Structure 1
Amino acid sequence: MSPVTPSPLLGTLLHGIGAACAALCYAPFRGVRQWSWTTYWVVQAAACWLILPWIFAWLTIPELAAVLHEAPGSAMLKSYSLGVFYGIGGIAFGLAIRYVGYSLTYAVAIGVSCVVGTLVPPLLAGQLGATLGQRAGIFVVAGVFLGASAMLATGWAGFRKEHELADARTPDAFNARVGLLICLLAGIISAVFNFALLAGQPIADVAARHGAGYFQGNVIYLFSNSGAFTTTLLYTIFIATRRRTWGEFTQVNDQARLSRNYLLALVTGLLWYLQFFFYGLGHVRMGQFKFSSWAIHMILLILLSAGFGVAIGEWRACRPATKLLVAVGIALLLGAVSLISYGNFLAAPPAA
C-alpha cells in the first residue's frame, strides 16, 4: 500500500489548481457557434463525466479490475445515485450562467454549495461538535463561515454589476429573478456531489490497498460522475427532441465550425474533469479535517472565477462602489482560505 502523508498546505495548493480549472472551464463556450447550450453541454459532459474518469482511473489505479471486483456494491450504487441527483444541479448551474453571468452564478451557487456541502456531512455524522472542541477545528469552521460572508459580498457585487450593465445587454440576456432562483437550486443540489464522494470512500479505500496512494479518489469518479452524466443525457434527449436540435450534432453551415465546436466542448470537459482530479489529490492530503476540502475548493473557485471575470472585462464598466465591494469580497475569500488552511495545518501531525 502506498502511504498517504497529510500535507494540508500542499493540499490547498492542489485544490487551487483544480479550482482554477473549474473557473476557466466555461471560457471555450464563447467560441461555440450554431450550437444550442444543450448540445454543447452534453458533449462536454460526455468527456468529463463518462470518458475521462475511465481514462484517468486506468492510468492511476493499479489493478483496477480487481479493485472494482472487491469494492462494496452498496458504495458504488450510493455514489452513482447521488451523482444522478447532482447532475440536476450541474444542468441548473449551466443555465444560470446564461441568465446572470459568470460572477453572480459562481458566487451564489457555489456559495450555497460550499456551506451545505461542507458542514452538513460532519453534522449528520455527529462530528461537528468534536471539531469545534479543538482549537484547529475552530479555525476551520470559522473559515467556512467567513467564506460564506465573502460569498455574500461577491454575490452582491455580482448582482450590482449585472444590474449596472443590463442596458448594454440584449433584452433576454439578463434575468435576475429567474437566474437567482436557478443559482440557489444549483447550489443546494451541487453540494450533493460531496456526499457522492463521501459515499464512494469505501471504493477508494480498496484502491488504496492496491497501491493507488494519492490517486485513490479517481476510482470514485467512475460512479459519481457517470451518475451525473445519466441525468445530463436524459435531459439532452428531452430537450433535443422537443426543440428538434438533433441535427446540430452532425451538421452546421460550416463543417470546420462543427469540428471546432466539438473541440471547444471537449476542452471544457477536460478542464471540468481536472478540477475533480486535483480535488482528489488535495483531499487525501488534508489530514484530520478532510471535510473542509469542499469549502477550500469552493472558496478558491469563487475567488478565481471573480478574477476570471475581471480578466475578460466583466467589471470594467462598473461603478467604483461595485468594484470596491468585489475587492472586499476577494479579501475576505483570501482570509477564509487562510483560516481553513491554518486550521488543517495545526491538526496535521508533525513531519517525521
Structure 2
Amino acid sequence: MSVIGGVMLHAVGASFAALCYTPQKKVSQWSWQTYWLAQAFVCWFLLPIIVAWITIPELMTVLEKAPSDAMWKAFGLGMAYGVGGTAFGIAIRYMGFSLTYAISIGISCVVGTLLPPFVRGELMTVLQQNGAEWIITGMIFGVVGIALCGLAGRYKEIDLAKSLKTQDSSFSIGKGLPLCLLAGVLSALYGFSIDQGQPIAEVAVEYGAGDYQSNVIYIFSNTGAFLVTLIYCLSLHRKQGTFKEFVGKGKSPLTRNYIFAIITGLLWYSQFFFYGLGHVKMGDYKFTSWAVHMIMLVLFSTVAGLALREWVHAKGKTIWTLALALAVLVAAVLALTIGNSMA
C-alpha cells in the first residue's frame, strides 16, 4: 500500500506539472524572459525556502549539521538541470513541442532512472531483486509510449499545417536534435540531484521531518536551476532591452501577468512537493520515482491537451497513434507499480 500511495502522490505531482504552463496563455505584452524569470523566482527560489522553513523542524540546525558536499552536489546538479530546461525551450523552436517533449523526456526517463544506482555501483543488484523484470518492462513501455506521443504530436502538427495551408519553415532536425539530446540528459540530472542530496534529508529525518524530508534538498537543487535561469534571462533582457516590462510597459496588464506567473510557479513547485512525498514511499526501488513521474507527466499533459481541444484538427492516423500511446503509457505505469510492490 505504501508503494501504491507513492505512485498516487507521483500522479498528483505529475498532474500539476502537466497543467503548470496553461496560465502562460493568459499572459500578454510580456516577453518570454520576463514571464519565465517571474515564475522561476517563485518555483525555484522563493517556495523551496518557504516550504522547507514550514515543513522541516529546526531547519537551521539541520543545515548546520548536513554534509556540505551533499549540498554542493545537489546545487551543481540543479544547475545542470537548469541548463537542460533552457535547451528544451530553445529546441521547441526547431523541433516543435511534441517531438522535443518525446525525445527529451524519453531520454530523461531512462537516464534519470538508471543513473543513481549506476553511480553507486548498485545497478546490477537492484535489477536482480524481486519485480525487476516488471521495472524493466515498465521503462521500455514508458519510452515507447513517449515516442508514440511524439509521433502523434508530429502528425498533429502536419495535419494542422495542411488544414491551415501553412508551412513550418523553422523546423530543423539538424539544429533541434542536438538540443533535444542535451535537454534530455541534463534534465535527467534533477532526479540524480535529489539522490545526491539524500544525506541532507537524512539529517532532517533525525529532527522529525518524516515524509517531508525531500523539501530540504530543494533549497539547493532548485536554487541551482534558478541561478542558471537568472543568468540566461538577464542576458536576454539586456540584449533585447526588456527590463522595463517588470514595472509596466504601455498598456501591459502588469498585475494580471504577475498573478499568472505566480500561479505557474505554484503549480510547478507542487510537482516537486508531491514528487518528494511519493519518492519516500517507493521502498527499495526509489530510483524508479523519476520514471514514474516522467511517464505520468507525458500521460497527463497529453490528456490535458485533449481536454483543451488541441487535437481538434487531427486526422484518423494521428488519433489512432495517440490512443495507442496513451494505452502504452498506462501499461508502463502499471508495470512499474507492480515491480515496486513486488520489491
**TM bracket, shorter-chain basis:** over 0.9
Is 2:79 the partner of 1:70?
no
**What is the one-letter code of the residue matched to 2:205?**
A
Contact 2:292–2:336 (8 Å) recurs in 1: yes
Give the Å deviation of 1:176: 5.0
Contact 1:200–1:220 (8 Å) recurs in 2: yes
- The worse-fitting range, judged by mean Cα deviation, of 152-161 and 276-285 is 152-161
Structure 2 gaps of 5+ residues are: none
- Structure 1 counterpart of 2:155: 160
Within 2, Cα distance between the matches of 1:129 and 1:296? 20
Give the Å deviation of 1:149: 1.1
- Structure 2 counterpart of 1:201: 198
Within 2, Cα distance between the matches of 1:104 and 1:310? 17
- Structure 2 counterpart of 1:251: 248
Distance 1:14 1:174, change over 3 A: farther
Within 1, Cα distance between the matches of 2:256 and 2:94? 25
User: What CA deviation, in whole Å up to 9, does each residue of 1:263-302 have, x standing for no partner?
Assistant: 1111111111000000000000000000000000000000
Question: Which residue, 327, 331, 334 being the options, matches 2:327?
Answer: 331
Within 1, Cα distance between the matches of 2:146 and 2:106? 6
- Structure 2 counterpart of 1:284: 280
Within 1, Cα distance between the matches of 2:165 and 2:116? 41
User: What CA deviation, in whole Å up to 9, does each residue of 1:308-338 have, x standing for no partner?
Assistant: 1111222111111111001101100000100
Q: Identity of paired residues, percent?
A: 50
- Structure 2 counterpart of 1:3: none
Question: Which residue, 316, 321, 329 being the options, matches 2:312?
Answer: 316
Structure 1 gaps of 5+ residues are: 1-5, 348-352
Within 2, Cα distance between the matches of 1:164 and 1:130? 47
**What is the one-letter code of the residue matched to 2:225?**
A
User: What CA deviation, in whole Å up to 9, does each residue of 1:134-177 have, x standing for no partner?
Assistant: 33122112211111111111111111111221353976786353
Give the Å deviation of 1:22: 0.6
Contact 2:49–2:219 (8 Å) recurs in 1: yes
Alignment of 1:222-233 (within 5 A): 222-233=219-230
- The worse-fitting range, judged by mean Cα deviation, of 168-177 and 296-305 is 168-177
Alignment of 1:4-43 (within 5 A): 7-43=2-38
* 3-state SS of paired residue (2:333): helix
What RMSD, in angstroms, separates the aligned Cα atoms of the two structures?
A: 1.8
User: What CA deviation, in whole Å up to 9, does each residue of 1:39-75 have, x standing for no partner?
Assistant: 1101110000000001110111011111011001111
* 3-state SS of paired residue (1:252): coil
Contact 1:100–1:162 (8 Å) recurs in 2: no
Is 2:267 the partner of 1:271?
yes
- Structure 1 counterpart of 2:207: 210
- Structure 2 counterpart of 1:60: 55
What is the total number of aligned residue pairs between the two structures? 341
When normalised by structure 1's length, the TM-score is 0.92
Within 2, Cα distance between the matches of 1:128 and 1:139? 15
Within 2, Cα distance between the matches of 1:144 and 1:269? 29
